[in-house]
Amino acid sequence: MNFWQYAFMQRALIAAVLVGLSAPAVGTYLVQRRLSLVGDGIGHIALTGVALGFLLGTAPVLTAVVVAVLGAILVETIMARGKASGDVALALLFYGGIALGVLLISLSPGGNSSTLLTYLFGSLVSVGPGDVAVIALLAFVVLAVAFGLRRQLFAVCQDPEYARVAGLPVSALNITLAALTAVTVTLSMRVVGVLLISALMVVPVATAQQVTRSFRATLFGAVLLGVALSVSGLIGSFYLDTPSGPTVVVLAVLVFVVVAGAVGLRHRWHLHRKPGPQPQPLTVRP
């Protein structure tokens, strides 16, 4: 059975490539900034946007983009002003977002439990022609900003104080990164789901870090790995008849375990082969 003969698989593969490019590109900055779980919180807020779209009778992806971006900017502002610590702000996203999303989707006429699962974990058949166009547009924006502002975003994530002294608009760049994360989460909902997109943003980056030694190499390596994992997981989910999101994430975790194990064994092998200190010959003074 050839997966390419189905129109929904063609659309899903295009979406998977775009998601595989975008998610690790943004995730590299989040890992550098030690905010690996921020995608989860924004995903919960995006679910509220999806439910609001069903309730208002509008496109759920577009309302999810608006709500997720506003939520991400709000949390970034709270964290920057010191009114709440990072973990408290993320907790607000986690609990308030998913609770409000489930509540609204239960009240909307077009939402039900199966619809909710589609956005939570992703679905192959849910990617329509209109979704592909929206995902392509959002992915273009994300990649253009992530690579176009690569040096500035890296400086802010690596050392915000130095970036501020160097004259960079640190607050604006942090808000830009938060907005990029929100957009990435929403464009990935159809393929991976809002509950699992954070894994695709983080795990390819963590895997690439095992074999790279620079930020640039990690960024490009994670993007290439993200595309490979998204496409492979999507094809695997088609033949295994499993949800696309969990299949992609499980594959990503397995690849990380294999790469990390291979790197660890290689390191031990080099330590074993490394010669120890040689004994010095004794000299006798006359």
Distance CA(72)–CA(92), nearest Å, equals 11
CA dihedral 165, 69, 233, 213 (to 10 degrees): 0
Question: How many angstroms separate the CA atoms of 111 and 113, rounded?
Answer: 7
Q: Are 176 and 164 in contact (CB under 8 A)?
A: no
- Using 50, 70 and 90 to split pLDDT, how confident is the model at 57? confident
Q: Which residues contact 13 (CB under 8 A, 6 or more apart)?
A: 231, 234, 235
Query: Which two tokens mark 101?
Result: 């999303």
Q: Residue 216 is encoded by which pair of tokens?
A: 């640039």
Buried b (16+ CB within 10 A) or exposed e, 3-20: beeeebbebbbbbbbbbb
- The structure tokens listed for 12 are 């899903």
**Percent share of the chain, pLDDT over 70:** 87
Q: Which domains does the chain have, with CATH numbers?
A: 3-273 (1.10.3470.10)
What is the distance between the alpha carbons of residues 10 and 3, in angstroms, rounded to a whole number? 8
Q: What's the pLDDT tens digit per position in 140-186?
A: 999 999 999 999 999 988 888 888 888 889 888 988 998 999 899 88
Q: State residue 1's pLDDT score.
A: 62
d(CA 190, CA 192) in angstroms, rounded, equals 6
User: Are the beta carbons of 70 and 181 closer than 8 angstroms?
Assistant: no
Most confident stretch, 103-107, 164-168, 218-222: 218-222
Residues in the chain: 286
**Over the stretch 181-202, which tens digit does the pLDDT of each residue have?**
989 988 888 778 877 888 889 9
The closest of 37, 6, 11, 13 to 202, measured between CA atoms, is 37
What is the distance between the alpha carbons of residues 25 and 109, in angstroms, rounded to a whole number? 36
Tens of pLDDT along 224-251?
999 999 999 988 888 888 888 888 999 9
Instruction: Tell me: pLDDT of 286 over 90.
Output: no
- Give 284's pLDDT tier (boundaries 50, 70, 90): very low
Question: What is the amino acid identity at position 43?
Answer: G
Mean pLDDT of the chain: 83
